[in-house]
Structures are given as C-alpha cells and as structure tokens.
Structure 1
Amino acid sequence: MSRISIIVGSTRPVRIGRQLADAVAAKIAPEVDAEIRILDLAEIGLPLLDEPLMAMMHQYQNAHTHAWAKEIAASDAVIFLTPQYNAGYPAALKNAIDYLHGEWKDRPSAILSYGGHGGHGGTASARQLREVLEFIGLDLIDSGSLTIAQTDYTPEWSLADADAVIARHGDEVLRIGAELMEKIDAEDAAAA
C-alpha cells in the first residue's frame, strides 16, 4: 500500500499543528488508497543540523538522520503542514528539510499552510516554503491554506474542534489528497 506522510512543521509546546494533522488524515484517509502517516517534528526531535557533510553527498553519519531519511524514503507523497510565523515557516521545518537531499527529489508533495484571518491562512509561509521545495526538486501540486478563526481556539490555545476547521476547508483538503494519489498512481504505472 502507498503511503502519504503529513509532516507537522511546528514544534512549539502549545500548537495546533498536530490537531490539524490528525483531522487532515481522518478527512483524506477514506478517500485515498494509501496509509496516512503523521511525522510530527516535535516527536521526531531532530537536533539543529549536525551532519558533518552536505546532504547531497548522501553520507549520513547520525542515527537520527538515517531514521529521518528512512521515513521520507518510505513516503510515496508528502504533505508539509506549516503554520505561518512572522510571514515565514518554522525553523524546525527548514531544519528537517535540510537534513536530506536525494530523498526529496521528485517526491509528490503539497503544502498545506495555516494561519489566522490576518495571515490569510499562512499563504506567505507557503510561498517561502514552495521556493525551497522547488529548488530541491520536489514534485509540488498546488498549495492549500487553512484559515483559523479566533473562535476556533480554546482559552488554552488549542483547537476546540479541529475536525470542524478541516470541514470548512474540506474540498481543498480532499483535492490535495486526490492529486497526490494521482501522482502516486502515475508513478506506479510508469514503473510497471
């Protein structure tokens, strides 16, 4: 079975990224013929890039790098779920991207950004992330964005109902899942 991985780009102790990833996975799982795996950078805990050689040399020396490379290599497609921090995407996400090189090449991918009404759903972070991902050679489909309303939050700054947030953007989330599945199917057909 194919695998679509959702990378949770935020590692802050108080964040909504994991809630959104779980809700996105629940929304697209019944619609695609793929396992949906969540790769939460807060759980993975990559240190600030500590490989002695450039990633393009593919001579990884650290166990955490090998484990991260294995996760990405096992992913037939990737969704980068990213918040918008000061009009950009989180440093932890950039760090995770920079650990690898060849594993990203030609991998079907999408950016799903999120932010408040003033941030237009994280579109500024998505623009920056797209530039990096295109440079390293991912096969990107059109991005999606989730606008989080102030009323979506609890007093503790988690989401009261992540599924309701995703439901408001259901067509966009389903489009991303379907387009990634089409790319996976096309690659499988070409390899056969």
Structure 2
Amino acid sequence: MAETLETPSTEPMELENDPLLKRHRDEDENSEATKKLKSEKSVEEQRLENNKVSDVEQECTEAKLGPKTFGSSVEMFDYFFKFLRFWTPNININKYEHMVLLELVKKGHPEPDQKIGAGVRAFQVRYHPQYKSRCFFLLREDDSVDDFSFRKCVNHILPLPENMQVNHDVNKALTSGGKGGGGGRGGGRGRGRGVKPRN
C-alpha cells in the first residue's frame, strides 16, 4: 500500500480543538471579561466619586458663623441684609449677633487682621458718611471705627449668584459724585447757578 501524505485539515472542528488556538481564545475572552469588569468598576468608582463631589458641594454650600449656620450664600446675604435694615442705628449689637458678625469678618474679609486691628469692642449699624446708606461698622478696642461690606464678606465665604455680586461701576459712580443727578447747592430740576427761578 502506498502511503499517502495527509494534508492538515482546516476544518473548523479540528481548529476548535487546537490547544494553541483555544488558549488564545480563552485569553481574549478573559481580557474582554476583564475589560468589561474594569469598565463596570470604573462606573461604580465614578458614581462614588460623584457622591463625594456632591458631599463636597454640599459642604461648600453651608457656612457656620459663630453659633449660626447658613445653608447657602443667598440665605446668609438675606440674614445680614434684613439685620442691617432693621437694627436701630448707633446702638451696639447684642452678644449673639456680635459673634456672628465677628466670624463674618474673620472668614470673609480679605484682610481680617487689619480690619479687626486691636480687637472688636462692638458692632453697630450706622449711616455711611460717603454713601448715605446703612452699613455695618466695627468699633475697635483702641476707639477707632471702620466700616465693612457684608456683601463682599458673604461672597468671599460662599460665592453669591452673579446677579447679587458687587457692582463696582455703581460704587465708582457713588464715590466720584456721579454726573448729573442734581445734588449740590442750587438744587436740581433744571436750575443751575445763576438761573432765576420762574414765577
């Protein structure tokens, strides 16, 4: 009998049973499973990280000033705004509010040590000599007096919404006297200097 050379068969059955190919296929499946597991894990890790960010954001939306806790910058702003409007001018503020205002200056003012100076003896609401509006003033132990912007302090602690931010153009207009507006001697309403009133 003549021996015939058998050529290797490339039938799928025999390839499936090939140990080398089977090992590569198992490695590919394992790597796919590993990739899938890693992607699932990273989704879970991402969820946990998002929760941590939410916790940080929640912490960033709360502020404690002395014995009082505020849930947001707007809540803090409203508190001080109402306080400023309703407290009787030129009277020392009570001890509870004193602690809250002192913490506001310490945490919110860009230069708290300079503002506090020798120490704060009392806080008062007074009319600002330049702006003619109510303002918080601190009375230091050395009898010096200084004002401060509660809005800027609040914004430094917890950023206020954009529509509540300090408008620097308004402050410039108020400090420079502005143009027009009729203030000063001679009255307003169209009467300048040297103009005789109508009969």
Query: TM-score when scaled to structure 1?
Result: 0.23
Q: As a proportion of its length, which structure holds more strand?
A: 1
Structure number with greater CO (CA < 8 Å, separation at least 6) is 1
Larger Cα-atom Rg? 2
Query: TM-score when scaled to structure 2?
Result: 0.23
